[in-house]
C-alpha cells in the first residue's frame, strides 16, 4: 500500500497513526535478523503518532501525516544517537536536527528509528558498519546494497513507509535496486545537506527510498528547497511533483548510453533493461542510442576525488571534542593516533589513506587535478547527451544483489559495483532507480533514469510508467 492509500485510510478512520506505527514496530521486531535498524525509537514514535492522530482529528495535520520514516544514521536528529555506523561516534548525541528532518517533522512525519549503513557511508554492501552487516529481505544470504542498505532493507521488508538515505556515488540507488524498491538521488543542490555527516561534500545528496515513485515525489516535495544553513542548497523553484506523476511519456525521447551495455553487465540485467525499452516504446516514447565516451574513467576519477574529500572531512574526528577517545595515552599525538586507529574501521582508513595520498605533494597534479579534469569531461558528456534526449535509461547496478562477504576482501570488485551510478554524482545530476524486473532467482533488478539538472519531474513521469503497467 502506498502513502496515498494509507492517508485515505487515516481520513476514513479505518486506522490510526498509532496503529500503523505499532504494525511497523511489529515488523521490525519480526525482521530483527535483517539488522536494518541500529536502534528503534519505539516510545518516541508512538508518542509522536498519538500527537499526529490528534492533529488529524482536528483537521490540522501536515502533508505527511501518517508517513512513518526510517532515518539513515548519518543524519543528525536532536537528542538522538548519531553514529554513522562507526565506533568513533558510538556515543555521539546530536544537538540539532538536519534540515530535511526538521522539514519532515513540520509536515507530521513520524520517525521510527535510525537505520544501519556502511561506516560513514563508505561502502556498497552495508557490511562495514560496527553494528554488523545488513541483510537483504529478498534473500538474507545476500547484501542489501550500500551504503543506505539499512534504509532500503527497512522499506522493502515493510518496517516503515519510507526511509531517508544519502547518495555519494550510488548509495541510494544501488541498494534500492538490490532490494526491489524506488531510490531517488536528487540534483546536487536540490536538497539541503545541513545535518548530514559529510563523506564527500561535492558529491553527497540526501534522498528518499520508497516502495513507489509516488511516495518518492511526496517526500521530495517537502525536503526540496533553499536553506540558509547550506550554501550549496540552490534557491530555485520547487515544482509540483504530484502533477509530474500524471504526465504522459508519449513523445519523450529517451537515450541509451552505448558504453553502459558492454562487457561486465550481467546478461539477465541486460534482458530486463531490454524489456523496459520495449515497454517505453510501446507506451509512445522514442528510445535512441547516445554516447558517454568518458564513462570508463568515471570510477577512477570518483574514488580519487571522493577519498580526497573524505580525508579532509574526517580530520575532525580526533578523539578530543566528542566521540571515541583511546585510553592509556601519554601525549596529544598519541591520543590522535590511537583514537583514530581504534575508532575507524578498515574501509574508512583505506579511503582516508587514499585521499591523503592523492592530495600529497608530488601527487596532487598526477591524481587529484587530473581527476577534476575528468569530472569536467564526464559532465560535458552528460550535457551533450541530454541536449539530444529528455532523459537517459541505464542499469542501476551491473548485477543483482551479491552474496554476503563475496566482495568484502576485494575492494576493487566492490568499487566496480558502482560503475553505473558514480558518474551521476560526478555530474551532479538527478537519478532514479525503479524496480524493472527480476532474475531467474527472483532477485530484483533496477533501471536507472537520469535527467537534466533540477528536472526530477521527468524522472517521476518516466519512473511512474516503468514501475506501473
Share of the chain above pLDDT 70, in %: 100
- The pLDDT of residue 364 is 94
Please report how the helices 42-58 and 17-30 are oriented relative to each other, as an axis angle in degrees rounded to 10: 160
Comparing CA positions, the residue from 9, 147, 141, 11 lying closest to residue 73 is 147
* pLDDT tens by residue, 306-324: 999 999 999 999 999 889 9
Active site residue 103: no
Q: Which residue among the candidates 125, 171, 311, 339 is catalytic per the annotation?
A: 171
- The pLDDT of residue 263 is 84
Active site residue 192: no
| Spatial distance between the Cα atoms of 181 and 175, rounded to a whole number of angstroms | 8
187 has pLDDT over 70:
yes
Residue 174's H or E segment, with its range, is helix 173-179
Residues 6+ away with beta carbon under 8 Å from 73: 38, 81, 82, 83, 84, 85, 114, 115, 116, 117, 150
Q: Reading across the β-sheet that carries 286-290, which strands appear in turn?
A: 37-40, 110-115, 68-72, 162-167, 205-210, 182-185, 431-438, 444-451, 391-395, 253-257, 286-290
Cell output for 144 = 542489501
* pLDDT tens by residue, 27-75: 999 999 999 999 999 999 999 999 999 999 999 999 999 999 999 999 9
Cell output for 205 = 545528496
Domains and CATH numbers, the chain: 3-245 (3.90.1300.10), 299-364 (no CATH)
| Spatial distance between the Cα atoms of 370 and 197, rounded to a whole number of angstroms | 27
Supply φ then ψ for residue 157, to 5 degrees: -90, 5
CA distance to 22, 178, 264, 337, 341, per residue, from 347 (Å)? 37, 21, 24, 17, 12
| Spatial distance between the Cα atoms of 179 and 427, rounded to a whole number of angstroms | 26
- The pLDDT of residue 469 is 66
Comparing CA positions, the residue from 127, 163, 159, 165 lying closest to residue 143 is 127
- The pLDDT of residue 262 is 87
Active site residue 291: no
Mean pLDDT taken over the chain:
97
Share of the chain above pLDDT 90, in %: 97
Amino acid at each position: 500500500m502506498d502513502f496515498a492509500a494509507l492517508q485515505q485510510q487515516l481520513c476514513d478512520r479505518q486506522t490510526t497513526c498509532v496503529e500503523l506505527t505499532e504494525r511497523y514496530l511489529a515488523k521490525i521486531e519480526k525482521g530483527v535478523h535483517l539488522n536494518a535498524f541500529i536502534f528503534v525509537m519505539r516510545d518516541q514514535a508512538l508518542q509522536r503518532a498519538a500527537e499526529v492522530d490528534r492533529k488529524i482529528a482536528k483537521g490540522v495535520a501536515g502533508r505527511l501525516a501518517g508517513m512513518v520514516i526510517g532515518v539513515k544514521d548519518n543524519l543528525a536528529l536532536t537528542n538522538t544517537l548519531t553514529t554513522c555506523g562507526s565506533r568513533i561516534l558510538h556515543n555521539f548525541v546530536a544537538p540539532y536536527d538536519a534540515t530535511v528532518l526538521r522539514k519532515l517533522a513540520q509536515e507530521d512525519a513520524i520517525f521510527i528509528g535510525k537505520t544501519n549503513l556502511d561506516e560513514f557511508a563508505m561502502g556498497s554492501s552495508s557490511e562495514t558498519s560496527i553494528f554488523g552487516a545488513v541483510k537483504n529481505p529478498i534473500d538474507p544470504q545476500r547484501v542489501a546494497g550500500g551504503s543506505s542498505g539499512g534504509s532500503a532493507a527497512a522499506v522493502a521488508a515493510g518496517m516503515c513507509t519510507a526511509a531517508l538515505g544519502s547518495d555519494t556515488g550510488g548509495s541510494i540507488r544501488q541498494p534500492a535496486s538490490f532490494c526491489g524498491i524506488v531510490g531517488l538521488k536528487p540534483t546536487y543542490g536540490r536538497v539541503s545537506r545541513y545535518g548530514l555527516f559529510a563523506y564527500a561534500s561535492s558529491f553527497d545528496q540526501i534522498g528518499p527510498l520508497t516502495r513507489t515513485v509516488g511516495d518518492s515525489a511526496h517526500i521530495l516535495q517537502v525536503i526540496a528547497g533553499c536553506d540558509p544553513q547550506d550554501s550549496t542548497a540552490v534557491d530555485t523553484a520547487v515544482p509540483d511533483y504530484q502533477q509530474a506523476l500524471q504526465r504522459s511519456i508519449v513523445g519523450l525521447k529517451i537515450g541509451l548510453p552505448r558504453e553502459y551495455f558492454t562487457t561486465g553487465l550481467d546478461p539477465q540485467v541486460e534482458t530486463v533493461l531490454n524489456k523496459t525499452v520495449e515497454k517505453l516504446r510501446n507506451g509512445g516514447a522514442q528510445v535512441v542510442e547516445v554516447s558517454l565516451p568518458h564513462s570508463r574513467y568515471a570510477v577512477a576519477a570518483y574514488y580519487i576525488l571522493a577519498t580526497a574529500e573524505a580525508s579532509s572531512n574526517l580530520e575532525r574526528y580526533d578523539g578530543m571534542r566528542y566521540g571515541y577517545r583511546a585510553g592509556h595515552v601519554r601525549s596529544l599525538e598519541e591520543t590522535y593516533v590511537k583514537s583514530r586507529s581504534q575508532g575507524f574501521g578498515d574501509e574508512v582508513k583505506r579511503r582516508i589513506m587514499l585521499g591523503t595520498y592523492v592530495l600529497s605533494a608530488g601527487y596532487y597534479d598526477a591524481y587529484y587535478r587530473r581527476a577534476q579534469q575528468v569530472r569536467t569531461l564526464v559532465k560535458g558528456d552528460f550535457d551533450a547527451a541530454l541536449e539530444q534526449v529528455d532523459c537517459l535509461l541505464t542499469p542501476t547496478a551491473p548485477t543483482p544483489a551479491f552474496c554476503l562477504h563475496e566482495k568484502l576482501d576485494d575492494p576493487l570488485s566492490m568499487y566496480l559495483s558502482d560503475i553505473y551510478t558514480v558518474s551521476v554524482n560526478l555530474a551532479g545530476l538527478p537519478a532514479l532507480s525503479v524496480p524493472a524486473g527480476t532474475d531467474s532467482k527472483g532477485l530484483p533488478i533496477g533501471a536507472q533514469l537520469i535527467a537534466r539538472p533540477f528536472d526530477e519531474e521527468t524522472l517521476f513521469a518516466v519512473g511512474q510508467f516503468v514501475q506501473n503497467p
